[in-house]
Amino acid sequence: MRTKVFACVVVSTIATALGGCATYHALPLDNGRGPSRVADITVPATSLPTPELRAYRFDPSNGLDATEVAMLAVANSPQLRVERDKTGVANAQAYAAGLLPDPSVSYEHDRPVGSYPAGTTSAFTANLAFDLGNLVTRSARVKSARAGAREVDLNLLWSEWQTIAQARTLFDRVLYLRKLVARLQDEHLALAPMQAAIARALHSGDLTYDSASAGLNAASDVGNQLGDAQRQLHQAEQDLHDLLGLDASVPLHLAGAPFTVDPDPAEVLLALQDMPKRRPDLLALQAGYASQQQKLRAAILAQFPAITVGFVKARDNSNISSAGFSIGLSLPLFDGNRGNIAIERATRQQLHDEYSARLLTDRNDIQRLAADLASDRGQRAALTAHAAQLAAARAAAETNYSAGRLDWPTYLAIRANSLAADTALLALDANTHEAAIALDALVGNWPDAALAGNDQKHSFAKDAKNAKESR
């Protein structure tokens, strides 16, 4: 009777456990195509990582300005979606680390066969065992998993910061390249009548190829520059499409001025001092180091003998019942988890050195970018004045050439010098904006930077989870 009761209890326990099991649902792959229109994308402003973006109204109907491009990048970047999926994996790992180990149940039943004395009955042995060794390391494993989840959350926030900076950089790059292409197209159109005149003179014999080489080379040089600029523009537009998660066929209607930021040297110096307390990637490295500390602690705790305890209920063939308990110990004579301890200790040293190396590299990068910006500011004033002088000279040369008071080689030389100054000024402005955006992101002197230091999960990851649960 007791055997039947025990068997019923075991069956009921197994049935209850199976009733709470997860079920499988297929998730088919999609075709990998992005939205066909920007207007089809929803940007949840309340989930954006900075108050500047959260307070801005996303309205792509009149084109995308620099802020809207940054908002769209954070909301729709394919790479950020992968990063947000990683937070789900890390949170699941933290959840799994906190679960208690399942007990194990075993049951043996022996039925007599052949001839046997009267009174012989079936024998059984039932055992309920629990591994206590798992509890010894549980606290360290839970702390490690939680720190690991925090590391992933912080890396996601840093990825969003980097995506904002990259969106601003690509927005400016596309605008400057469009200006460069337009300037080269204007120059190409301005030289077209002269090329036609040179061709007619060569055909009539009024010019030789030696004397016409300067005119022929001028148009060819501008055409080559125009082709290079157009290829750079195509690449920049593709990079922006990729960042925004848009198909290449979706037109990019960019509006407004380039994104401008001018980090103050005093603010940069102040931000540089407390950068480790504010930058999400550095805080993520600190969380990863804390996680590794707990992994090492768990490995040290795991060197002690693993203990398994159990409760045993048995009956032999002579119908004598017994109840007791079992204890199992592992003997750390050969392994003793020394290999894992050595691995975790070496990994901790590696993370320690990686953090120091990152700090050194970032501080040097910040100082270099600050020096570059200072040089660019000084160079721009001189180059702007030089470009203005050459633009005035080009305008005067056009008038004199049309009136026949200026020979065409001199006219072409003046135009070429003016074009070189204009393109150099555009390149300097583009490089200055890119360096300023990179410096601004590196020092981490952004609003809401303190959010990187709390234990809250990032709102975008929450939104994604809630959206999945609602389906």
Give 194-251 pLDDT, tens digit per residue: 777 777 767 666 566 666 666 777 888 899 999 999 999 999 999 999 999 988 888 8
CB 150 within 8 A of CB 433: no
The domain made up of 39-99+143-303+338-458 has a fold known as: Outer membrane efflux proteins (OEP) (1.20.1600)
* Residue 253 pLDDT: 92
Residue 9 pLDDT > 60, yes or no? no
DSSP bridge partners of 129: 104, 310
CA 82/CA 76 separation, integer angstroms: 11
Residue 459 pLDDT > 60, yes or no? no
Token representation of residue 275: 């950068």
CA 225/CA 180 separation, integer angstroms: 10
Residue 111 pLDDT > 80, yes or no? yes
pTM for this model (two decimals) = 0.79
Q: What is the mean pLDDT of residues 148-161?
A: 91
Confidence of residue 4 (pLDDT cuts 50, 70, 90): low
Q: What is the mean pLDDT of residues 257-266?
A: 85
Per-residue H/E/C for 260-321? CCCCCHHHHHHHHHCHHHCCHHHHHHHHHHHHHHHHHHHHHHCCCCCEEEEEEEEECCCCCE
CA 430/CA 170 separation, integer angstroms: 10
Residue 31 pLDDT > 80, yes or no? no
Confidence of residue 33 (pLDDT cuts 50, 70, 90): low
Helix, strand or coil, per DSSP, at residue 29:
coil
Confidence of residue 429 (pLDDT cuts 50, 70, 90): very high
Amino acid at 455: D
**Closest to 100 in 3D by CA, of 144, 147, 141:** 141
DSSP 317: T
Alpha-helical (H) ranges within 403-445 are: 408-443
Q: What is the mean pLDDT of residues 172-180?
A: 96
Give kind and range of the element (H or E) at residue 5: helix 2-19
Residue 12 pLDDT > 90, yes or no? no
* Residue 254 pLDDT: 93
* Residue that the structure tokens 């392994």 belong to: 335
* Residue 342 pLDDT: 94
Confidence of residue 17 (pLDDT cuts 50, 70, 90): low
Residue 81 pLDDT > 50, yes or no? yes
Token representation of residue 374: 């200072």
* Residue 447 pLDDT: 52
**Closest to 265 in 3D by CA, of 370, 359, 154, 422:** 370
* Residue 160 pLDDT: 92
* Residue 10 pLDDT: 53
Give the count of beta carbons closer than 10 Å to the beta carbon of residue 440.
23
Q: What is the dihedral of CA 404, 405, 409, 413, to 10 degrees?
A: -120
Residue 39 or 82, more confident: 82
Q: What is the mean pLDDT of residues 394-417?
A: 89
Residue 325 or 173, more confident: 173
* Residue 166 pLDDT: 95
* Residue 162 pLDDT: 93
Question: Could you please report the per-residue DSSP string of 32-74?
Answer: ----S-GGG----GGGSSSHHHHTS---GGG-B-HHHHHHHHH
Residue 3 pLDDT > 60, yes or no? no
Give 43-80 pLDDT, tens digit per residue: 887 888 888 888 888 888 889 999 999 999 998 888 98
Give every strand in the sheet of 321-329, ordered side by side.
104-110, 123-131, 307-315, 321-329
Confidence of residue 346 (pLDDT cuts 50, 70, 90): very high
Q: What share of the chain is helix, strand, coil (3-state, %, to 5)?
A: 70, 10, 25
CA 276/CA 64 separation, integer angstroms: 34
**Closest to 76 in 3D by CA, of 170, 167, 151:** 167
**What percent of the chain stands above pLDDT 90?**
40
Give kind and range of the element (H or E) at residue 130: strand 123-131
Amino acid at 449: A
**Closest to 306 in 3D by CA, of 132, 142, 140:** 132
Give kind and range of the element (H or E) at residue 104: strand 104-110
Arithmetic mean of pLDDT over the chain: 84
